[in-house]
Amino acid sequence: MSKFWSSFVQDLEPYVPGEQPKVQDLIKLNTNENPYPPSPKVKEALNGEQIDLLRLYPDPNSTALKQTLADYHGLDQNQVFIGNGSDDVLALTFMALFSQKNKPLLFPDISYSFYPVYAKLFNIEPRKMPLNDQFEIEVDKYDLNDQCSGIIFPNPNAPTSIGITLDKIEALLKANSETVVVVDEAYIDFADNCESACKLINQYPNLLVIQTLSKSRSLAGSRVGFALAQAELIEGLVRVKDSFNSYPLDRLAELAAITAFEDKEYFQQGVQAIIESRNWTTEQLQQLGFEVLPSQANFVMAKPTSKPAEEVFTSLREKKIIVRYFNKPRIGDYLRITIGTPEEMQALISALKDILV
Ligand SMILES: *Cc1c(COP(=O)(O)O)cnc(C)c1O
């Protein structure tokens, strides 16, 4: 602590990201990164010529990437906002759309742990909405409409991995037409039972969808996230961005993102491989007595029934496999396990067989 800090800094409770260990030979299943490299075309695109161009500022509006994303999602360029990872997009969203409204922001009690951090940073009252006993979001409980500053949730939810269907999101948008609803779709590309809310954007002026290239496009190290909405909502985000940092995306990140989006075939193969590994891992965990939540994401939430989750977490670590354990209400009995390559998942299952005997 320093006497030079602003007074609010003392009260902040910063987000703690999953560990990025320096040790080499670990199996890293703790931060939902993609086990496969980005499209090989990304490597070709980021050549010496691009490095030379780093002397110039990038396009402040990432226009080329915006056009790629607009084409991909069937929207106009002015319906796309781009940021330095979706965490950056989320922070600007909290500032532009939720703050200084003096009304609570609704989000699930078990959800992305950055939401309460942003709420604190921007002085927004959080109102945590309990998931039901099956860890599902109960949309009909979100009924404050103009009495709240907004609603935000991931779909599929994290860390539960459970998704909700588009008709539920549409019902939520209708019941809350006077407030903004943000759907954080970090994992939507891995879903096979629920779909993106993008197709509702032109019907609902109160909908903002946020996506990232960190998970399904293997570009976590490059920091690219984006938001999709009607042009007026997007303009609010642009105003805040241009009052804060005009160049959130560097040249290499923009080019990597465009290239990754254009390689549709590589993307689809990668997503399919992870869905197949997820299904295999789920079955194997169930055979070992785990209760596994029905996952729509690139990770599973699994509860060991013969030993406490924290003990299993520690034993896995000793075997150089890191997963995520949350010492928190309701999910303290679970492990969150990122889906890796088939070889990594086989190593996980055989380590668990040793641990649980
Ligand atoms: C991973 C994740 C993000 C952050 O993604 P970045 O684009 O890497 O900042 C946002 N929301 C949820 C729910 C996530 O799990």
| Tens-digit pLDDT profile for residues 172-188 | 999 999 999 999 999 99
242 pLDDT band, cuts 50/70/90, is very high
Q: pLDDT band at residue 126, thresholds of 50, 70 and 90?
A: very high
Residues 257-276 have pLDDT tens digits of 999 999 999 999 999 999 99
pLDDT at 16 over 90: no
Per-residue pLDDT tens digits for 72-97: 999 999 999 999 999 999 999 999 99
3-state secondary structure of 161: coil
Q: Cα(107)–Cα(163) distance, rounded to whole angstroms?
A: 15
Q: What pLDDT was estimated at residue 19? A: 80
Question: Under DSSP, is residue 231 helix (H, G, I), strand (E, B) or coil?
Answer: helix
Main-chain dihedrals φ then ψ at residue 298, nearest 5 degrees:
-95, 30
Return the pLDDT at 17. 84
- Report d(CA 338, CA 87) in Å as an integer: 19
Burial of 16 (0-12, 13-18, 19+ CB in 10 A): exposed
Residue 24: per-residue pLDDT:
80
**pLDDT level of residue 283 (50, 70, 90 thresholds):** very high
Ligand 1 cavity residues, CB under 6 Å:
32, 85-87, 112, 154, 158, 184, 186, 212, 214, 220, 225
221: its two tokens: 């190290």
Q: Which domains does the chain have, with CATH numbers?
A: 7-38+265-355 (3.90.1150.10), 42-263 (3.40.640.10)
Of all protein residues, the one whose alpha carbon is nearest to atom 1 of ligand 1 is: 186
| Structure-token pair, residue 51 | 């490095």
SS3 271: helix
Give me ligand 1 centre to Cα 104, in Å.
23
What pLDDT score was predicted for residue 18? 80
Locate the ligand 1 atom nearest the alpha carbon of residue 158 and give its number.
13
Q: What is the pLDDT of residue 13?
A: 87
**Ligand 1 atom nearest residue 225's Cα:** 7
CA 118 to chain centre: 15
Q: Which residues does 7 contact at the CB level (< 8 Å), separation at least 6?
A: none
What is the reported pTM?
Answer: 0.97
Q: Which of 212, 213, 299, 301 to mutate to test the pocket of ligand 1 (most atoms within 8 A of CB)?
A: 212
Q: Is the pLDDT of residue 23 over 80?
A: no
- The predicted model gives 137-163 an average pLDDT of 97
Does residue 156 have a cis peptide bond before it, meaning omega lies within 30 degrees of 0? yes
Helix axes 114-121, 86-93, angle to 10 degrees: 40
In percent, the amount of the chain with pLDDT more than 90 equals 94
Of the residues 137, 188, 215, 336, which should be mutated to test ligand 1's pocket, given the most ligand atoms within 8 Å of the CB?
Answer: 215
